Amino acid sequence: MSDVYYEAQPKQLQFHKATADEVLYGGAAGGGKSFAILWDAVGFCLAYEKAHVAIFRRKFPELEKSIILEFLDKVPNYLYEYNKKEHRAYFTNGSILEFNHCEHDSHVFDYQSAQYDRIYFDELTHFSNFAYTYLMTRCRTVKKGITPQIKSGTNPGNVGHEWVKKRFVDGVIPNKVTEKKDKATDLTYTVQYIPAKIYDNPKLLDADPGYIARLKKLPTEQRKALLEGDWNVFEGQFFREWDEKVHVCQPFKIPKWWVKFRSIDWGFAKPTVVLWYAVSPEGRVYVYRELERTRIPDTQLVKEMKEYSKGETYAYTVADPSLWSINQYERGESIALRLMYMGIPLMKADNNRIAGWNVIHSYLEHSENKKPRLQVFSTCYRLIETLPGLVHDQKNPEDVDTNGDDHAADSLRYGLMTRPHLSKRPFVKPPAQSFESIMNRSLEERKLRGYVGYL
C-alpha cells in the first residue's frame, strides 16, 4: 500500500467541499466518482466521533467489487475493524461506515428504522426515484455540529436517468448551489451538480492512456454519455417518442359529458398508482389526475380515491389483475372484492405487457402534422417523471426493465389497453317555442336548431 492513501483531484476536492443538501458528482466515465465517495465517507467518519454513515449501491456484488474492495485495499486498517458479515467498518473513534445495497424498491424498508448522519449513493442512476426519496428520510441527526447531507456519483443512463437529470442537472448551474422546490410536496432543498470527465482525472489517464480511445469506439449514445457526460441522450430509453413539450399540457376544465375512467396499479411495499382519464370527442386521451401512495391499507386508498373523485362519474375502473388473488387474506377475500364492497367497481386489466407497451407507443406517436393521442396534465408529476426514464429489459428488449420506477407506467398500460370509447356530445332537445317565434327565424337558423318541421 502506498504511503499516500488519497490525493484529491481538483474536481474531487470540490465534491468534498460541497455544501448543498444534495450533491451529485460525475457525468462522464473515469472522473473518479467512486473514489471520491469512498474517501469523503472515510474523512467524515474520522472527522466526527460516533458518526453513522452509509454508502449505497444497488446490487451487493457491484458494491463488493468496487467500493468495499477499494476500502479494504486503500484505507489503513489500523483505523478500523471490518465486520465482513455485517458489511460494516467500525472506526477507532466510534464512527460506523455501512456498505449497503438496495436491489429492489421493496428493500428500502429494510432500513426503516435506520438513522444516518450522511448517506452516499454510488451510481445513482441505477436507483429509482422512489428508493432515493425514501432512503433520504433516513438521513437525519441530533448530533451537534453535523448537518445531514446526501452525496452521490453517477454517469448518465440507466433506470434513474430521467429523474436524476431533472433533480440535479436541469435548471442548475454546474458547480453552484441551487435552490429547488419539490412540486409534489412544495418543500425546498438545495442541490449542487459537479460535472467531471475523464480529463479531470489525470492519474487515470497516466495509468491507462488507452482508456479514451476505448470510449471513443462505443456506440454514439454510449459515447456521448460516458465520454462527454451528455445528459440529453441515454442508451436504452424505452419510450423514445416521449417529448414533454408535446405530451404535457396545462390543466383545463374537462366537460362533464366526456367519458372518464380510472386505472389502478396495486402495491403495498411498492407504490400504488391511480390514474384518472378523460376522452375527447376526437379520441385523444387526457390523464388529468394521479394518486401515488405507499404502504397504506386498502381502506385508506378507497377513502382518498373517493375524495379525489367527488362530483365525477366514471365508465369503469380497471385494476391490476393481482388484486383478484385470494392468497393475500387468510379468509380468502381478494383485495378486488374488498374494494368493490367499499364502493369502487372494478374490471380486471389485460396484463399482456408487450401488447400494453405497444399500445402506449401508439398513443405517444406524433409528428409535425400529427398530435399524439395521449396528453398528460402538468400536475401529474410522477407519470411525467417516470415514463420517459424507463429502459429496455436486457434479457427481453420488448419489455420494460422492472427495476425502474414502472408503477405509473403499469397503471397507464392498464388504462389504455381498455380501448377507451370516444366521447359523444349528448343531444339536447330544443326548448319548446311558439310557432310565431320559430317562423320569425331565418331558414338557415331553423335548420341549424333542428326545427325541420317548420320550414
Average confidence (pLDDT) over 84-100:
97
Which one has a higher pLDDT value, 17 or 441?
17
Read off the pLDDT band of 454 (50, 70, 90).
very low
Task: Fill in the DSSP letter of residue 405.
Answer: -
Tens of pLDDT along 260-302?
999 999 998 889 999 999 999 999 999 999 999 988 999 999 9
Same domain? For 157 and 306 the reply is no
Instruction: Calculate what percentage of the chain has a pLDDT beyond 90.
Output: 61
Contacts of 282 by beta carbon, 8 Å cutoff, 6+ apart: 422
Same domain? For 264 and 185 the reply is no
Tens of pLDDT along 395-432?
898 999 888 889 999 999 999 999 888 777 776 666 66
Which one has a higher pLDDT value, 154 or 427?
154
Average confidence (pLDDT) over 350-358:
95
C-alpha grid cell for residue 373?
393521442
Note the pLDDT of residue 124. 95
Identify the CA nearest to 416 among candidates 293, 286, 313, 288: 286
Average confidence (pLDDT) over 180-201:
81
Distance CA 5, CA 401 (A): 39
Are the CB atoms for 246 and 372 separated by under 8 Å? yes
Distance CA 120, CA 118 (A): 7
Q: What is the CATH number of the domain that holds 334?
A: 3.30.420.280
Distance CA 140, CA 11 (A): 27
**List of E strands, 248-403:** 248-249, 259-265, 272-279, 285-293, 317-319, 347-348, 374-377
113 falls within a domain: yes
Average confidence (pLDDT) over 91-102:
96
Cα 149–chain centre separation: 21
Note the pLDDT of residue 329. 47
Instruction: Calculate what percentage of the chain has a pLDDT beyond 70.
Output: 82
Distance CA 233, CA 350 (A): 32
Contacts of 162 by beta carbon, 8 Å cutoff, 6+ apart: 385, 386, 388, 389
C-alpha grid cell for residue 244?
414533454
81 falls within a domain: yes
Containing 245, the helix (H) or strand (E) segment is helix 244-247
Give all strands of the β-sheet with 347-348 in edge-to-edge order: 248-249, 374-377, 285-293, 272-279, 259-265, 317-319, 347-348
Are the CB atoms for 414 and 263 separated by under 8 Å? yes
* Among 226, 257, 272, residue at a domain's last position: 226
Q: What is the CATH number of the domain that holds 174?
A: 3.40.50.300
Same domain? For 271 and 179 the reply is no
**Residue given cell 432543498 in the structure block:** 189
Which one has a higher pLDDT value, 189 or 6?
189
Containing 98, the helix (H) or strand (E) segment is strand 96-101
* Neighbour-count burial for 238-251, b at 16+ CB within 10 Å, e otherwise: bbebbeeeebbeee
pLDDT over 50 at 1, yes or no: no
Nearest 10 degrees: Cα torsion 110, 112, 114, 120 = 70
Same domain? For 411 and 438 the reply is no
Read off the pLDDT band of 434 (50, 70, 90).
low
Q: How many domains does the chain have?
A: 3
Same domain? For 411 and 435 the reply is no
- Roughly how many angstroms between the first and final C-alpha of the chain, as a whole number? 103
Tens of pLDDT along 25-54?
987 555 578 889 999 999 999 999 999 999
Helices (H), 318-406: 335-341, 353-364, 381-386
Tens of pLDDT along 57-86?
999 999 999 999 999 999 999 999 999 999
Looking at the DSSP assignment, which residues form a beta bridge with residue 82? Answer: 89
C-alpha grid cell for residue 220?
454514439
Read off the pLDDT band of 455 (50, 70, 90).
very low
Distance CA 410, CA 263 (A): 9
Domain of 287?
A: 244-416
Note the pLDDT of residue 86. 95
